[in-house]
Chains A and B, each alone.
Chain A
Amino acid sequence: MKNLISMRDVSTKDILKLIDLASKIEKKEINVDMTGKLAALLFFEPSTRTHFSFETAVKKLGGNTFAMSGTSSTSVKKGETLSDTLMTISMYADIIVMRHVIEGAARFAAETVDVPVINAGDGTNQHPTQAMLDLYSIQKTQGTLNNLTIGMIGDLRLGRTVHSLAQALSDFNPKFYFASPQHLQMPTYIKDDLKSKNIQFEELEDIKEVMPELDIMYVTRIQKERFAVLEDYEKVKDAYIITKKLLEGVKNNFKVLHPLPRVNEITTEVDDTKYAYYFQQAKNGVYMRQAIITELLNLNY
């Protein structure tokens, strides 16, 4: 792998290799040395959480970072093209991590510069490091990625994390339940991809009835702003809030995942149950990002 731009480019073999590497880093079975290397963290669209996660990953590997958040303090504001900004940064950095509001910006970056590029989110398109850390979290909690029953709940139309994850899991024979309000359903192109791979999936408006079947429930936030009429939001919002009561009767291995930040879609009483896994999931993100950087920079260990 030279870059990580889209889960569409990542083979099953790559996925398993990165999970193995993340696991070895977490268990301190290997010591990766990034000393003397610089990562540019270019967050054209600000994102505190992903930014900190990458910064932690680089520093834990012994590397260093320089960062940009937003475009207000850069030459982008003066009208410099993205291509020129990237070329200049690539003269300083050994690897570029980039988040941009424009879709395809990361692919373009990878084609423009010689150093490896990691896509930290491009508009509504891809967020592959999130998908990879989700896969790592699923592997860790279930002991496998194969033959799992996974519920995805919330805003499935605009949430790019659920798109990347559904695609990434489709090589592991999953069964999906998609629960969302009608106008926030999983997009057709994702469903077409799943159909072409003969993946079983069912769309529901309420997740309750399938809870006892699930190994994983992946929760995303439904934003009020997605509803034209506030009353419509009020009508559906409770069906997509995870409470302790909803978790009665779930499987022993069941876990709740969430890309965070959470607002009110998982009640805080769930945090104390053995099913809550979202904070560990965020921690897994650091190990997975360490693994990705190690692989792309071909670091010694």
Chain B
Amino acid sequence: MNKEKLKVDPIKNGTVIDHITSGKALQVADILNISNSEKEIMIGINLTSRKMGKKDLIKIENREISKEEANSIALISPTATLIIIDDYKVIKKFGIDIPNEIKNHIICPNSNCITNIEGVKTRFELANKNPIEVRCAYCEKKYFIDDVKFSF
């Protein structure tokens, strides 16, 4: 058994979210609304990863995260992979698709955008996948994903 595996116990049933962008695990937990649940959750931050250097990881007992739910974390951690576990066995493994349109979750950084003035729900389109850039459907300004704030 290697050192990485020793750090967190395996789960019997549930979901492992692996390869989360380092430092984003708590935000991912928030978005998926798992922080307030009664389920057993293990969160690893800044774990050593051969692929990524550093990564975060979340294990959730007795909850299967759907593909649709997973896509909602695409913007903050597009590299994440989800592994669904049943009786200690991997039954499904999938990556994340970055949606072409993101409703509500991004706050437009442009203070003169109507979404910040009239209380309009925001809508952003994906302008570029690598690096991720999004464009406000209203003021049409384009931003790198690291330059925007989220509201979930």
Contacts and interface: CB of A to CB of B under 8 A. Distances in A.
Given A81-B118, A83-B118, A102-B113, A189 B138 contact: no
Contacts of A189: 141-142
B120 A108 contact: yes
B139 interface: yes
A122 B140 CA distance: 11
Contacts of B120: 104, 108
B118 A103 contact: no
Interface residues of B, number: 15
A105 B118 CA distance: 9
B117 A107 contact: no
A8 interface: yes
A82 B118 contact: yes
A103 B139 contact: yes
A126 B118 contact: no
Interface residues of A, number: 19
B126 interface: no
A6 interface: yes
A290 B110 CA distance: 33
A102 B140 contact: no
A192 to B, nearest CB: 8
Contacts of A83: 118
A149 interface: no
Interface in A161-200: 189, 192
A103 B141 contact: yes
Among B115, B118, B120, B140: residue with most chain A CB under 10 A: B140
A60 to B, nearest CB: 31
B138 A123 contact: no
A125 interface: yes
B114 A108 contact: yes
A104 B114 contact: yes
Counting from the closest, the 6 A-B pairs by CB-CB distance are A104-B138, A103-B139, A104-B114, A104-B139, A108-B114, A189-B142
Contacts of A101: 112
A108 B39 CA distance: 41
A122 B117 CA distance: 14
Contacts of A123: 112, 139
A39 B114 CA distance: 23
Contact of B118 (A8, A108, A124, A192): A108
Interface in B109-134: 110, 112-115, 117-118, 120
B132 to A, nearest CB: 14
Nearest to A107: B138
B136 interface: yes
B27 to A, nearest CB: 27
A102 B142 contact: no
A125 B118 contact: no
Nearest to B108: A104
Contacts of B137: 104, 107
